[in-house]
Structures are given as C-alpha cells and as structure tokens.
Structure 1
Amino acid sequence: MSHQFFFKVSNTSKNSRKGIIQTAHGDFPTPCFMPVGTQATVKAMRPEDVLNTGAKVILGNTYHLMIRPTAERINRLGGLHKFMNWPHTILTDSGGFQVMSLSSLTKVTKAGAEFRSHIDGKKIMLSPERSIEIQYLLGSDITMIFDQCIRNSSSKDDTEKAMNLSLEWALRSKISYLSYQSRPGYAIFGIIQGGLYPDLREKSAQELIKIGFDGYAIGGLAVGETQEEMFSILDSIVPFIPVDKPRYLMGVGKPKDIIGAVKRGIDMFDCVIPTRSGRNGQAFIRKGVVNIRNTVYAEDMNPLDKMCICYTCQNYTRAYLHHLIKSKEILGAVLMTQHNIHYYQDLMQDLRDSIKNNNWEMIDNIHL
C-alpha cells in the first residue's frame, strides 16, 4: 500500500532544519540533494549505484520525456519508476525551466508555451494542464506546477508579468492535479517566482499559499545571479513559506551554495553540476575541487578524496582517472560521476548531523 505524503521536522539549528519526507515510494531525509535524471537516467550511473551513494529521490523532466520517448509510452510500459528501474521517490520538473532555456524555440501566451522540438522541430504546446497530465502519466511522486521562469536580467515589469502568469498557471496546475483520481503518497509543489525583487517574491509566495500546495519551491535562481544575490532572496522569502511544508531550491548548486541555503532553512536541492562536472573531469572533494585533467595528477597515486569511501576512491588513483578522462574513456565519466554524487550525499549527511547536534564545526572544518 502507498504511504501518505507528509513532511516532519525532527531537529532545528537556528534557521536550519532536519526532517523527513514520505511519499508513495518511500521516505527520504532532509536536507537532501536529488541527483538529476532528466531523461530517465542519472547520466553515467546505474540506478543501483545512485542508491548506493545514499540518494533516495531523483529528478526527471517533463519536457524531455514528453518528446522522447513520450509520457504515453512510459505510462504504457508501467510508469517511470518501472521504466528506469528506480522504485524510490521521483520528483519531476514541469518543463517551465525549458520555457527560458529554450526561449529561441518558444512562444509564451496565457494558454501555455508553444515549443519547437529541439529534436525534430515539431510544434508542441505545453500548457499547465498538459504538464500535469504528463507528470501524472509518468507517475511522479512529487509533481511541480508549470511556471514561467525568466532571466534575472529581465526588467522588473517583465519579471512581474511572468510572476503573475506563473500564478495563473499555478492555479490551473492545481485544478488539473485535483482532477485526477486522488492517490495517497503523491504531492504537488508550487514554485515561487519574482526574480531578484523581494516584493515580487513575497507576493508570489502569499498567492501560492492561498492556492495551497504540499510544498513550495523557489525557482528562477541559479541562472546567473551572484551567490550574495541568491542568499539575499532566500533571506527575504523563507520567512513567508509555511514552516510545516518542504522548501525546495531548484537548480542549486555548488557545495557552498547548498551549505548557505541549508543555513537559511532550505530542505531540498537538485542540480546537474555533480554529474556534468564528473563527465568533464572535475571532482568535488572536502575543501575544494580536483580538475583531474591537470598534468599534476598524471602520476598521483592518491585517491580523489582521502576521506571518501565511495567505490572510485576506494579502488582507483588520480593518475588512472587522469588517464581515463584525457583518453575520453567512458569509464572515466562513470567513476568521476559516481564519486561526485557520493560526495554530495556525504555533504547532505554531514549537514543533517550538524543540525541534529547543533554543531557546525564539521561543515566549517571539512567542507568550507
């Protein structure tokens, strides 16, 4: 039987909180980092290897899966969990980010976003209702509303228009979500927009709360603003998010971004950085990064991170990884990615321990 969806805070440390989220496909601790599996795969990793890093929730993407292989096909094949052999929690991004990232192929109206497929140029209409339908067909445990994310360089007037449109789409998303048969353990999150304008962020949050969602995400960040700007927005908006709901910072980020956001009360994160960086030869380690392509590692017999117990660090040297990446061998991407995802999960566990013990020395001394 499916579990009910719930979020419970067990420990706090100033603004930070440690908790647990339960969904139809199990529970996971917070703060958490969700590896990104945009096209039904965390790149260069088997699902069982993702699980072995400590991750219990991953992210998929509505836009990419609706184009290939299509939500309808995945549904006929048993849903996304079965399709990708991941029997644990899945959160799906609604496709709203692609409205911005693929803007040269997109026309936005109140009805939704009209795309030209980046695969074959076919015209596709993605509306709030269609986005929710796709996420339902995929079987997402956590559905995201369809929103319009715009660049932070946009004017306040354009930012406000996009925020208001996102609120209209949020209501339509919620109505569409409720039109499907109620399923225990599933949830829908709202997305707070408003760019770098605190007053717009506050309005967005307050209006979303009136609609009512199971959790609240902060979108439109990690798109070119400085870390100081991002933290300033978090400081201004977190107090308006209900304390009994999960807070999800979308698309973030680097370890220092995550640590700072956790200290400000954020519970959930996702980002392509650890997988993309791994494929490109960058490893995250305690107190820094290793760019394994550098010649200095060509005869380095040390592991990537002496404090790491991941498969890569326990079995391979920097010298071997340097060789693999320089030779463009697939195994290099696999081993580097596996380490990075493991490091991120270790970081989240250290953050949870720091909150539980109300002691941040481990984070300050090991990760910063």
Structure 2
Amino acid sequence: MNKLQFKILKKKGNARVGQITLNGIKLTTPVFMPVGTKATIKGLILDMLKDPKYTGSKTPINLILANTFHLYLRPGDKLIRKAGGLHEFENRDGLILTDSGGFQVFSLGLSKKSVKSESQRSIKSKGPDDLMTGGPSTKHDVQIKLTEQGVHFNSPYDGSKHFFTPENVVDIQCNLGSDIMMVLDVCSPADANKKTIEEHMHMTHRRAKRAFDHFQKKYDKERGVLFPIVQGGAHKDLRSQSIKFLSEYARDGIAVGGVSVGEEKKLIQEIVKHTGSELPEDKPRYLMGVGTPEDILHAIENGFDMFDCVLPTRLGRHGIAFSSKGNLKMTNAKYKADFTPLVKTCTCFACTHFTKAYISHLIRENEMLGGILLSLHNIAYLHNMLENRKAKMLRK
C-alpha cells in the first residue's frame, strides 16, 4: 500500500475534490500551500494557519512548503535532522512539502544565453534576491555549472561551493523530514529554444530515475513520498513526452514545473489545460509556482489539486491585498480615509478587525504589522476561496 492515499470525492467536468491521507493527516484538495521558505512563513506564526480566529476558516491549513535550497545552506539539513526534522524544528504538526532546489538554481541565473553547452557552462547572478524567495541581498556573485551528474553552484550568502545531485537532494529532504519531496529537475527559462528545453526535459527524466532508484533503495520506509516533475516548457509535444515518461514514477503524485517562469498568461493557460488533460487521473496533481486567484481557479477547472506560490506573502509585504475585484494597492490615496474592511465578505483576522484606512496607514509608515496583516489576509483569502469551492462542489 502506498504511503500517500488519494481518493476523488467529487468531479465536475475536469475539476475535482479529493482527499489526501499521509502520515496520519487528512486534507481535502484542491489545496493551496503557503510558502515557508526558511522554515517560517514571513511575518506569521505557523499556529495562525490552524486557528479560525486568524484564517476565518474551520478547516486548518495543514500543508505548507519549505525550501530545500535555502535550508540546506542555512542552517543546514544535518542540523535540522539533529533537531528531529522540520516538524520538531519549527514546532509544526501539519504536513510539509519541500521543493528540490531546481527552481532556485534556475533563478540564480540559468538562462538561454548562459547555457551554451549542456555539459558545462558558468553563469553569474547577483545573489539571493534573484531567487524569487525574498532572501537578503549579498555581494557574492553566483557561479552555476550544469552537468549530467548534477549542478555546481556557490552560495549566494558566503560564496562557498556546493554540488546538488538527484541523490543528495533526496538525502537532504529526508534529513529535513519532509512529508512530500520533489526530484531535482532542470527548469528552462521561457525564452529558451525548443532544443534546449528538450535537452533539459530529458535530463530531468534521467534525474528522476536516479532519484527514485536512490529513494527506493535507501528511504522507502521513511515517512516521506517523492513526486516527479513534468517539464517541457510551452511545447505541448514535449509536455506529453514528459508526462508519459514520468507517469511510471508517479506512485504517490506528480508535479508540473516550469509553468510560471515568465511566459505570457495565455500560453500558461494553454499548457495548464494540455497537461491537466494527460496527467494520471488517480494521483494528486501539483502545479508548481502558481498563486493568483484567477490562475488557481483556471488550473482547478483543468484538474489540478495542489498549488504553491510566494506571491500572497510577497504582495502582502508590498502593500497589496487579494480581492474578488482584483488586487487592492493600499498605498492608493483612495484608501486613506476608507473605513471599510479589505474585503467585506472575508472572515480573516485582518478583515474582521481593521479597516483599509488603518492598514493603508501602516503600509505608508513601513510598519511591519501592515505586511503581516496583508500576508495573513492573502493566504486566508486563497484558503477560503478553495474551501468554499470544495463545499459548493460537494453539495451538488
């Protein structure tokens, strides 16, 4: 029996409501995973995600994401293992998904112009601010070399040299005590040519095989499960090839990566629709890096179950709130004397306790509470949007 149990409770068209059971925890899908890059969601106490007082929902947020790349560098996966894994380290009793670090390596500067040869090529990046994770800026240039064995890089924090392979990335995630792990993939930039994207896709496939072979030999009895990642850029034929190859490894679930890396929205939607129609029906389907309300709803209509993105908290820290009428920018003059909630129908702590005028004031004065309240609201907004959608589907 698989460690991760998944069953579909209801379908409407391609949209579905499902249930994941893993390590004694049950959660219904579709589900949005807040991103806790460095074992914390910026500005929030993790217990807030389980408390109806803060989320406005009776259903706790029981699945979050942590970043393998950053936690490996600081404080180190071996230290976290000594602490008892991420769950003990951050006092978290819900499920934790860890990414593989492949996207962070891409964000360090892997682009079409920099990959002259697939066997080796050095490129430069400016530091952790390029990782799309909100890390601190540094003076260390980052060198990346992609090879068949793995990827060489130096730390954006202190310049130290490191090497990721499909095998040691599994080791790192097992040290972290992750519930759901990702294989080390190769993410192509949106402007790469088809030949490069195809080379990256095949390399991703070879890495997936190596990762699963290593996982099954060494960690099959551990708490975690491993997902492969579909690649292929904006090319439907490559996406189909990738799904066909990786379905063999989708024992517990499957992810689709390389979707939100700079493509136009229409193209993203076409790829989401195409991949959603071909992924294994009986496994959870994880669309990586998608986090706007409209993009999530579109993906749900095309059969996806799991989502993550830094956008809700990043926008929150920059004074922007989700709403059914689009994003609300709290620095706009019209909110200075607006004494209504962010969203009248939202039951999160920010909306039930404070006004737009107050939050606008906090943002204008660079008070950290403003970003905290907006981050909480944005996460709760997505969570409650999905909870309401699931409830509506289950009633029909």
Task: Describe how 1:1-368 pairs up with structure 2 within 5 A.
Answer: 4-24=3-23, 26-52=25-51, 53=55, 54-103=60-109, 104=124, 105=142, 106-183=144-221, 186-358=224-396
Q: Which amino acid aligns with 1:72?
A: K
Aligned counterparts of 2:368 and 2:165: Cα–Cα separation in 1 = 38
Aligned counterparts of 2:152 and 2:226: Cα–Cα separation in 1 = 23
| More displaced stretch, 131-140 vs 183-192 | 183-192
Q: Give the C-alpha shift of residue 185 in structure 1.
A: 5.2
Cα deviation digits, residues 134-193 of structure 1 (max 9, x gap): 000000000101100010210000000000000000001101211224336531111000
Contact 1:27 1:89 in 2 (8 A): no
3-state DSSP class of the match of 2:277? helix
Q: Give the C-alpha shift of residue 25 in structure 1.
A: 5.1
State the match for 2:116 in structure 1: none
Structure 1 residues 226 and 357 mapped into 2: Cα distance closer, same or farther (>3 Å)?
farther
State the match for 1:362 in structure 2: none
Q: Give the C-alpha shift of residue 341 in structure 1.
A: 0.8
Q: Give the C-alpha shift of residue 212 in structure 1.
A: 4.1
* Unpaired stretches in structure 2, ≥5 consecutive residues: 110-123, 125-141
Q: Give the C-alpha shift of residue 336 in structure 1.
A: 1.0
Q: Give the C-alpha shift of residue 235 in structure 1.
A: 2.1
TM-score (ref. length: structure 2): 0.87
| More displaced stretch, 240-249 vs 285-294 | 285-294
Structure 1 residues 184 and 129 mapped into 2: Cα distance closer, same or farther (>3 Å)?
closer
3-state DSSP class of the match of 1:285? coil
Contact 1:4 1:184 in 2 (8 A): no
Cα deviation digits, residues 291-344 of structure 1 (max 9, x gap): 111111111111111101111111111111111111111111111111111101
Q: Give the C-alpha shift of residue 226 in structure 1.
A: 1.9
Aligned length: 356
Cα deviation digits, residues 73-96 of structure 1 (max 9, x gap): 000011101111111100000001
| More displaced stretch, 132-141 vs 228-237 | 228-237
Q: Which amino acid aligns with 2:19?
A: I
| More displaced stretch, 349-358 vs 64-73 | 349-358
Contact 1:36 1:59 in 2 (8 A): yes
Contact 1:15 1:263 in 2 (8 A): yes
| More displaced stretch, 227-236 vs 323-332 | 227-236
Aligned counterparts of 2:149 and 2:3: Cα–Cα separation in 1 = 33
Aligned counterparts of 1:212 and 1:234: Cα–Cα separation in 2 = 18
Aligned counterparts of 2:84 and 2:104: Cα–Cα separation in 1 = 26
Contact 1:198 1:233 in 2 (8 A): yes
State the match for 2:134 in structure 1: none
Contact 1:310 1:339 in 2 (8 A): yes
State the match for 2:136 in structure 1: none
3-state DSSP class of the match of 1:20? strand
State the match for 1:361 in structure 2: none
3-state DSSP class of the match of 1:36? strand
Aligned counterparts of 1:47 and 1:123: Cα–Cα separation in 2 = 32
Aligned counterparts of 1:57 and 1:87: Cα–Cα separation in 2 = 10
Aligned counterparts of 1:203 and 1:297: Cα–Cα separation in 2 = 50
Identity of aligned residues (%): 40
Aligned counterparts of 1:251 and 1:212: Cα–Cα separation in 2 = 19
Give RMSD over aligned pairs. Answer: 1.4
Structure 1 residues 157 and 236 mapped into 2: Cα distance closer, same or farther (>3 Å)?
same
Structure 1 residues 168 and 30 mapped into 2: Cα distance closer, same or farther (>3 Å)?
same
TM-score (ref. length: structure 1): 0.94
Q: Which amino acid aligns with 1:35?
A: P
* Unpaired stretches in structure 1, ≥5 consecutive residues: 359-368
Contact 1:5 1:185 in 2 (8 A): no
Q: Give the C-alpha shift of residue 130 in structure 1.
A: 0.9
